[in-house]
Chains A and B, each alone.
Chain A
């Protein structure tokens, strides 16, 4: 196969309006890659697959990479002309620059017909938040189907024209994208709304109306009214039989029967499992 520079020039000639840039790989593997613009990705992919001397018919590996925004400190030395007429002098200045983050999708292409490869394609989204669409290459290579679903699931890249873009490894109600670098695990994965929410609310009212004797036996302080007890009062309740302590998840209100708030940003949305509650 020709070198990557040749391939880049060929693609630039065939698609003059596209941008094809070689991304250098400094490691000893020397697997350099081609960064292509998203709007030309599918025609370039078809070109790579269909040209007689390229025939990249096999897309082996598709994967995502998360590059969060990064603060880069640059040291520059602006030349200042000396008013006295001497040589230009400069004082070092440090400039903080925020490099915007993006999500990247990498395709490893091989040719089964001709036995060469890999050619590595990279696509980048515009940012990590709301401009995360990329064209799906599943219409070109069927092998991208599940792998692009996985990238959608774990990284949050939206592939346009994907035939079946659903979560694949995480469950459908899951909110976040776990492979992102800034992902924070929720406190309680297991919590989900159950029909027992009202039961727990009743139990809370029951405990609030306990007589002092019973409350002392349970190790809690009785509340004077049926007003909701503050979240911190019920510690681990010693079981009357002398068994292990039981932590009852006392809800302030009936948890709404909605989707599980699995986002890490709002763990306190979960009333049945406050983050301060001791775990059994």
Chain B
């Protein structure tokens, strides 16, 4: 499906059964779900039109968390935007920082020392672990498994956040990357702690998977629910695990080969069906691959400077021009598009938010599903409203 065609509505066979003398026969019900619904993971609203329990129309409503991040970026210097990027996708501040730093480095033609590139890979993969762990927990929460799976996930997430806090001083708003390197060098103790966390993470995944992956309720709720076709996914610009769950092999770590990812052999897991269960499994498998990347990075981490000594942070004025830099964030392609006019502030500062673009196909996935399934489908898309609304 390349052209924009109106999605067809095929209700499941069970939805056809109706009472004959139903006074409300044929009436559609409009439900405004959100912005304070707990399953919307923030302030997000879906205008859902229901035929019985089946969704016949769904329009997402955005903007409740809008603060015009891009205008803020135009009104501050390049460096002052770095802490603001933490607040985009507030689960993954490290990868937001990296994407922004990468775009500025492309704009100014800066190079990054070897150790800093290793640290970026390490922190990005830790962030990926963190994000996917959270998602696995939240998805189960959305299925109705209140508490326990989420707390298992949050227990592990907290260990990673402790590492981030020890390194950058802040659990979630790390503000760690700089143009041309990183801000602080991790101590040997930190590296040991991070390495032991990485080595133990596989055991947590084994435990979590033994509890969840084969769980009958999870399989019944997610298999065949919210099926995304590869053609639609590509056309709609869906990226990240969402895309790879449909079987399209497109991982920017391989395609763009940014950072030092070519040095670390790893596999890109791909799904077959593009349904919610595949999206869950892809994330689990990606975490396994992240662990192998991390173990290789810790083994071969070189010593040296962590920031280019020629890098200029204060009074930084790139030459006029523009650059688009993108990396594979845990949610998909996060990119920054910058235009410099030679002044200390960017002339144009644009964030390409993976969460917003991935939401394009929300209606297509939900049509014909039940309202309860919409909650799970939204959970499996993995959005953070700080990034959707900006």
Contacts and interface: CB of A to CB of B under 8 A. Distances in A.
Interface of A: 25-29, 31, 49, 57-61, 63, 65, 106, 108, 112, 115, 118, 120, 138-143, 145-147, 150, 154, 163, 167-171, 178-179
B4 A163 contact: yes
A31 B109 CA distance: 12
A112 B322 CA distance: 23
B337 A108 contact: yes
B263 interface: no
A63 B318 contact: no
A154 B389 CA distance: 12
Interface in B100-118: 106-109
B237 interface: yes
Chain B interface secondary structure, helix, strand, loop or mixed?
A: mixed
A143 B360 contact: yes
B63 A169 contact: yes
Contacts of B325: 29
A120 B352 CA distance: 15
B235 A147 contact: no
Chain A interface secondary structure, helix, strand, loop or mixed?
A: loop
Nearest to A50: B2
Interface stretch (B23-31, B65-73, B213-221): B65-73
B167 interface: no
B357 A146 contact: yes
Q: Which of A57, A146, A168, A178 counts the most B-chain CB atoms under 10 A from its CB?
A: A146
A141 B231 CA distance: 11
A60 B255 CA distance: 14
A29 B321 contact: yes
A29 B250 CA distance: 23
Given A28-B107, A49-B2, A61-B337, A108 B360 contact: no
Contacts of A65: 339, 347-348
Contact of B360 (A49, A146, A171, A178): A146
Interface string B327-351: 0000001010101100000011010
Interface residues of B, number: 48
A58 B321 CA distance: 24
B281 interface: no
A29 B322 contact: yes
B4 A25 contact: no
B237 A58 contact: yes
A169 B62 contact: yes
Given A26-B319, A112-B250, A178-B71, A170 B235 contact: no
B324 A61 contact: yes
Contact of B234 (A29, A58, A178): A58
A118 B389 contact: no
Q: Which of A58, A163, A167 counts the most B-chain CB atoms under 10 A from its CB?
A: A58
Contact of B63 (A31, A139, A171): A171
Contacts of B348: 63, 65
Contacts of A146: 356-357, 359-360
15 contacts: A29-B106, A29-B109, A31-B106, A49-B2, A58-B234, A58-B250, A63-B348, A63-B352, A65-B339, A115-B250, A139-B4, A142-B4, A146-B360, A168-B62, A170-B63
B232 interface: yes
A179 B71 contact: yes
Contacts of A58: 234, 237, 250
